[in-house]
Structure 1
């Protein structure tokens, strides 16, 4: 009976030691940062490809909240022309990120690059919705705890 108890204690000590080492592993911390960047990037790319002409202010607020740096300034400075263009077009677009991955991560510099495949459904007033797929390259910058878009561009296909 005591041999079983000693064996159980040794197993517990081994697992405890492995857990302690793993919790301090730089690779695990880097993976967590990568996962946070990916989640923030997916959210931001979806927000930047979604807009409802009936709530342009809310849509532009989401764009601004998901952007940083020069991209955020572009949204702020272009609000009036964006409102006019979107209201004139009378469309509703909803985006879903189908797949995405971080291709570069500079956690010390708070930067990441992400590729994303996005399906965007666009519906013009009194018309059937149509779906389009696009590939994007996004540059992400960590601002506090949040990862935001600092650049977003289409990736040519073919």
Structure 2
């Protein structure tokens, strides 16, 4: 191979390598500092808040009802929070009378909708719960839930929570 051809090939490869490096750098910077990163961050925050909120609502101990109800209130907003606050005493009586301890664990969850501009999100989750009545055998069950979240000054909070019916969200 002659020197002139080798020099030309080396120059072309250098230009291609420089072009690729420039493109990769600009792409990385755009992804790290653009709307995509902010949207992904909001999605991750909503998912985490949804998982924690669902777990808070589905973990109950009749011996510490006030603590559990306070956890419900701190995880909720809007009508859901108002409903809990309004019916607090009757809920407390129901939970104490039931004499059960329920421990729950979110097995998996996903954000199915996110509108970061309006501060609304929807999360679905699969939850394993173990219900132990006083003096009885523990019963394990797995259920699916859907929750709507609203972004507040204090972060994402549950605004609705219910079972996920067969057929989707």
Given the two structures, how large is their TM-score scaled by the length of structure 2? 0.81
Q: Which runs of 5+ in 1 are unaligned?
A: 1-6
Aligned to 1:109: 118
Q: 1:27 aligns with which of 32, 36, 52?
A: 36
The CA deviation string for residues 77-119 of structure 1, in whole angstroms up to 9 with x for no partner, is 1111111111111000111111111111000000001111111
Instruction: State the alpha-carbon separation in 1 of the partners of residues 52 and 113 from structure 2.
Output: 18
Partner SS state of residue 117, structure 2: coil
Matched, 1:71 2:80: yes
Residue 54 of structure 2 corresponds to residue 49 of structure 1: no
Q: What is the aligned partner in structure 1 of residue 8 from structure 2?
A: none
TM superposition outliers: structure 1 runs of 4+ over 6 Å:
none
Question: Looking at CA atoms only, which structure, 1 or 2, has the larger radius of gyration?
Answer: 2
Partner residue of 1:153?
162
Which residues of 2 match residues 1-150 of structure 1 at below 5 A? 14=22, 17-150=26-159
Aligned residues: 149
3-state SS of the aligned residue for 1:76? helix
1:71 Cα offset (Å): 0.2
For structure 2, the residue ranges without an aligned partner over 5 or more in a row are 1-13
TM-score, L = length of structure 1: 0.87
Alpha-carbon offset, residue 16 of structure 1: 5.8
Q: Distance in 2 between matches of 1:157 and 1:21?
A: 40
